[in-house]
Amino acid sequence: MAEHFVIIGAGQAAAQAVATLKAEGYSGAITVIGDEPFAPYQRPPLSKAYLSGAMERDRLFLKPDAFYAEAGCELVLGTAVASIDRLQRTIALVGGRVLPYNKLLLATGTRVRRIPVPGETLPGVHYLRGIADVDTLRAAFEKGAKLAVVGGGYIGLEVAAVAVRQGLEVTVFEALERVMARAVSPELSTFYQRVHREAGVRLELNTGVEAFEGEGRVSSVRAGGKSHPADVVLVGIGVVPNVELAKDIGLPCEDGIVVDDCTRTPDPAIFAAGDCTRHTTHNGRLVRLESVQNAIDQAKHAALAMIGRPTSYKEVPWFWSDQYDLKLQIAGLAQAGDVLVLRGDPSARKFAVFHSRNGAVAAVEAVNAAPEYIVGRKLIAEGAKVAPERLADTSVPMKNIAQA
Amino acid sequence: MPKIKYIEHNGKEHDVDVPVGWSVMEGAVKNLIPGIDADCGGACACATCHVHVDPSWTEKIPPKQDMEETMLDFAQELTPTSRLSCQIKVVSELDGLVVRMPKSQH
């Protein structure tokens, strides 16, 4: 019988795995199973250009339908997986269909973290993960409406930026003392807080949300001991990895499906890629990453491993966020104890923060500063040592920064 | 619909219709034309959609913004007509545009 690879999950990692399998000569069948009714699409624009209306739905899809047909790939959409049988090497879909597999890729992604407070299920309280979520949220975006954003992370702030420009009154509630605390350095948080406030967004820091209030639909947010009127609420407090299928069959999971550097689980027929995995990164740290880069690169390695050519995943992580006219680009992973080096002037809306570790560049956060980002990413990959005072010296162009 | 000619590094030509409002990058990706990776999907965040615009067309395309300019500075096989194809918006005046892909995007 011809080989059959199954991919559970129909996101960025799945699309990439199909592309790489095809490019590397795999000629067997592929089935991609997704619980949303859509072929793999880009999620990053959801909280940006798709929400604002600048990008229509058709443009979100990663590949045309012909791509899957040509790759010998069947898309089974709008369908969840009920269970996996490792001994028989079969997958049972909700609805009863059973699929055999020779190799299985878990690209199950994440789902939103729900907020455990009263009123969470009131109409008017939204989460943002998929196309359908944005369609409903956007319908509630009326000029003058009061939008309460719960969580000052990437999703919350990107939505706030779109909403305030569309004339909504926006308040962001952040439980911690600064925005994007999990993702960026304090310097960046301070900068983005100022930018959002200047744009007219109200930021309530150190303010956890206690409840959503309203009769029949949300009308206010209880936070910091006060009621704040709200017509629409968006909750963006992070995601949790979809590990249940893996856990049910005894694969090791700890906030993510644990894989080795070649995306392998302990089961020789099962691999995992993307947001759902916990893996060793380029510098040996065990991490779970939520990013397009990780989905793409890990899926490439997974596809190779599935056809018997395992290769070590060593790519430097990178991320981006668009808010207003600002492009934030991050490479590498910051760590407590890093020496922070500012290059450029935040008030010029063009600067970077380098993270130096044992004299080497370990991470860079660049705002409208592509040279810092691109060269920084290269320096991180090479483990290059550059003195902090040199990194800070804008009279030395980034192109020459590594030459002592 | 404007027609765009994409020429692969090996010389293979692809003529495709690209809707007005899309980017030149999207025209390639949605038509499965090899040679453009576009990892970030068009956010001007990754510089993997580099093309060389045919010199007869460079004047007809709006100039690069700062971000594109600096991203390109570090691309391989840079030429004076290099552009990031995600930043070229297709308009009816670009009917007949010719772009060539570099050997590699990484």
- The whole-angstrom distance between A28's CA and the closest CA on chain B is 20
More confident residue, B44 or B16: B16
Query: How much is the pLDDT for B76?
Result: 85
* Closest A-chain CA to B68: A370
Q: What residue segments make up the domains of chain B, in order of their start?
A: 3-100
Q: Does A292 touch chain B (CB under 8 A)?
A: yes
Domain B3-100 sits in CATH 3.10.20.30: yes
Alpha carbons within 13 A on the beta-carbon side of A105: 38
| Angle between helix A154-165 and A186-198 (nearest 10) | 20
Verify whether the Cβ–Cβ distance B66 to A296 is below 8 Å.
Answer: no
Residues 34-93, chain A, touching B (beta carbon < 8 A): 42, 44-45, 59, 61-64, 66-67, 70
Residues with Cβ < 8 Å from A336, sequence gap 6 or more? Answer: none
The CATH H-level (homologous superfamily) assignment of domain A325-400 is: FAD/NAD-linked reductase, C-terminal dimerisation domain (3.30.390.30)
Question: What is the number of other CB atoms lying within 10 angstroms of the CB of residue A282?
Answer: 18
Closest by CA position to A276, among listed A235, A246, A304: A246
Verify whether the Cβ–Cβ distance B74 to A59 is below 8 Å.
Answer: no
Query: How much is the pLDDT for A32?
Result: 98
More confident residue, B66 or A151: A151
The average pLDDT across B15-42 equals 92
Verify whether the Cβ–Cβ distance B71 to A370 is below 8 Å.
Answer: yes
Residue A214 banded pLDDT, cuts 50, 70, 90? very high
The CATH H-level (homologous superfamily) assignment of domain A4-111+239-306 is: FAD/NAD(P)-binding domain (3.50.50.60)
- Reply yes or no on whether the pLDDT at B74 is more than 90: no
- Reply yes or no on whether the pLDDT at A404 is more than 70: no
Least confident of A242-246, B15-19, B41-45: B41-45
Return the H-helix or E-strand segment holding A182: none
Q: Does A296 touch chain B (CB under 8 A)?
A: yes
Q: Does A315 touch chain B (CB under 8 A)?
A: no
pTM to 2 decimal places? 0.95
| Angle between helix A12-23 and A292-306 (nearest 10) | 40
The average pLDDT across A381-385 equals 94
Confirm whether A4-111+239-306 and A125-235 share one CATH topology: yes
* Closest A-chain CA to B73: A371
Output the average pLDDT for chain A.
96
For residue A44, give the nearest of B41, B67, B71 by CB distance: B41
Query: How much is the pLDDT for B87?
Result: 94
Q: What residue segments make up the domains of chain A, in order of their start?
A: 4-111+239-306, 125-235, 325-400
Output the average pLDDT for chain B.
92
Percent of chain A with pLDDT over 90: 97
- Reply yes or no on whether the pLDDT at A337 is more than 80: yes
pLDDT in tens, A312-323: 999 999 999 999
- Reply yes or no on whether the pLDDT at A208 is more than 70: yes
Residue A363 banded pLDDT, cuts 50, 70, 90? very high
Query: How much is the pLDDT for A1?
Result: 56
Contacts of A64 in chain B (CB under 8 A): 30-32
* Closest A-chain CA to B21: A55
Is B85 in a helix, a strand, or coil? helix
Architecture of domain A125-235: 3-Layer(bba) Sandwich (3.50)
Question: What is the number of other CB atoms lying within 10 angstroms of the CB of residue A36?
Answer: 18
Q: Tally C-beta pairs within 8 A across A and B.
A: 54
The burial class, CB within 10 Å (0-12 / 13-18 / 19+), for A181 is middle
Contacts of B47 in chain A (CB under 8 A): 374
Question: What is the number of other CB atoms lying within 10 angstroms of the CB of residue A92?
Answer: 15
Q: CB of A126 within 8 A of CB of A133?
A: yes
Verify whether the Cβ–Cβ distance B70 to A327 is below 8 Å.
Answer: no
**Whole-angstrom Cα distance, residue B72 to residue B69?**
5
Query: How much is the pLDDT for A284?
Result: 83
- Reply yes or no on whether the pLDDT at B105 is more than 80: yes
pLDDT in tens, A272-313: 999 999 998 888 889 999 999 999 999 999 999 999 999 999
Query: How much is the pLDDT for B47?
Result: 85
Which candidate in B22, B64, B68, B74 is best for mutational testing of the A interface (most A CBs within 10 A)?
B74
**In the structure encoding, which two tokens stand for residue B40, read together?**
């970030």
The burial class, CB within 10 Å (0-12 / 13-18 / 19+), for B59 is exposed
The average pLDDT across B41-46 equals 84
- The whole-angstrom distance between B9's CA and the closest CA on chain A is 17
Contacts of B1 in chain A (CB under 8 A): none
Verify whether the Cβ–Cβ distance B45 to A375 is below 8 Å.
Answer: no
- Reply yes or no on whether the pLDDT at A46 is more than 90: yes
